[in-house]
């Protein structure tokens, strides 16, 4: 398959009181078109910084991000970032949020496209609602739909479901898989949940503590729909967790 994203020797430090603090150190990664990559690592390891650089929001100190053979220097609608805190505009309705990124369409078309995606993520009937009238799960759906509307080639997802309860998080994962099966976006997902990574990703990239480096990469050779209770999935989970420094006896299995 064609290469979509090529990350080459990426480095980033932030200024602190004690001088420069290296956050990302020499990360190189190749992502194929349509591939789903999960990035897992300890909290505060620089995962978000890495993703922000890939989405074009932060400039690296050294190294480069090449998307479709072109150097990425700033964010654009080909790669939409879905952040942990969420950024659904609270002053717009669900429909207005979904229409936000649509340029160059006539208004009736915009409405039709927005309503179509609202339907896809299961928000039918809530098109005229405001953020404060929605539950946490519905907010995430709105955010996801708003990204999908502009048909982004890449979805950058920074712990999108971590604020949801376990049941809603699982439901959102299944929704995401269902949507991705239809519209094959290249997807990068940051998560601290190894099960989530195994459930969703084609490859799981394990990152080291700060300054972050790629510590290990695991293929997930399991057919969808995946059963997390399967032997394969469980073994992979234990392997990834021990790579993250969780000892086997702590896993209780």
Partner 1 sequence: MARIKEMLPALALIAVLIAAWWGAVAATHSVIFPTPWDVVTGTLELLENGTLWRHIAASLLRVGAGFGLAVCVAVPLGLWMGWVAGAYRTLNPIFQILRPISPIAWIPIAILWFGVGDASPIYLIFISSVFPMVVQTTAGVHTIEKRYLRAAENFGVSRRTLFRQVVIPAVLPQVIVGMRIGLGVAWLVVVAAEMIALHSGLGYMIMDARNAGNRYDLVIAGMIIIGLIGLSLDSTMRILEGTRWARWRYAH
Please, is 213 exposed, middle or buried when counting C-beta atoms within 10 Å of its C-beta (0-12, 13-18, 19+)? middle
CB nearer partner 1, residue 102 or residue 233: 102
Q: Name which position in 85, 106, 231, 249 contacts partner 1 (CB under 8 A).
A: 85
Q: How far is the CB of 252 from partner 1 (least distance, A)?
A: 38
CB nearer partner 1, residue 83 or residue 186: 83
Q: How far is the CB of 116 from partner 1 (least distance, A)?
A: 18
- Are 177 and 25 contacting, i.e. CB atoms less than 8 angstroms apart? no
Q: Name which position in 66, 130, 151, 214 contacts partner 1 (CB under 8 A).
A: 130
* Contacts of range 212-216, beta carbons closer than 8 Å, 24 or more positions apart: 212/23, 212/24, 212/25, 212/27, 212/41, 212/45, 212/46, 212/47, 212/49, 212/50, 213/25, 213/26, 213/27, 214/27, 214/28, 214/29, 215/41, 215/243, 216/243
Of 76-84, 113-121, 210-218, 220-228, the window that binds partner 1 (rule: CB under 8 A) is 76-84
Q: How far is the CB of 130 from partner 1 (least distance, A)?
A: 6
Of 19-27, 96-104, 168-176, 181-189, the window that binds partner 1 (rule: CB under 8 A) is 96-104
72-95 residues labelled b (16+ CB within 10 A) or e (exposed): beeeeeebbbbbeeeebeeebbbb
Q: Name which position in 29, 31, 40, 55 contacts partner 1 (CB under 8 A).
A: 55
CB nearer partner 1, residue 99 or residue 180: 99
| Binding positions for partner 1, rule: CB under 8 A | 55, 57, 75-77, 80-81, 83, 85-87, 89-92, 96, 100-101, 103, 130-132, 150
């Amino acid at each position: 398959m064609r290469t979509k994203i090529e990350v080459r020797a990426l480095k980033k430090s932030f200024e602190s009181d004690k001088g420069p603090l290296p956050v990302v150190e020499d990360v190189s990664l190749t992502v194929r078109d349509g591939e789903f990559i999960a990035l897992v690592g300890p909290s505060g390891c620089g995962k978000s910084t890495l993703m922000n650089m890939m989405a074009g929001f932060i400039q690296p100190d050294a190294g480069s991000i090449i998307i479709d053979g072109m150097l990425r220097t700033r964010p654009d609608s080909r790669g939409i970032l879905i952040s942990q805190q969420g950024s659904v505009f609270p002053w717009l309705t669900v429909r207005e949020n979904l229409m936000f990124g649509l340029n160059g369409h006539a208004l009736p078309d915009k409405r039709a496209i927005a309503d179509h995606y609202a339907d896809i993520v299961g928000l039918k009937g809530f098109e005229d609602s405001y953020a404060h009238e929605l539950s946490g799960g519905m907010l995430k759906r709105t955010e996801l739909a708003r990204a999908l509307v502009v048909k982004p080639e890449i979805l950058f997802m920074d712990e999108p479901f971590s604020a949801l309860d376990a049941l809603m998080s699982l439901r959102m994962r299944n929704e995401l898989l269902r949507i991705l099966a239809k519209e094959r976006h290249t997807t990068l997902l940051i998560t601290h949940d190894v099960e989530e990574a195994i459930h969703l990703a084609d490859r799981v990239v394990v990152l080291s503590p700060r300054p972050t480096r790629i510590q290990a990469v695991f293929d997930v050779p399991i057919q969808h729909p995946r059963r997390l209770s399967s032997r394969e999935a469980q073994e992979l989970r234990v392997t990834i967790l021990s790579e993250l420094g969780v000892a086997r006896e702590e896993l209780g299995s």
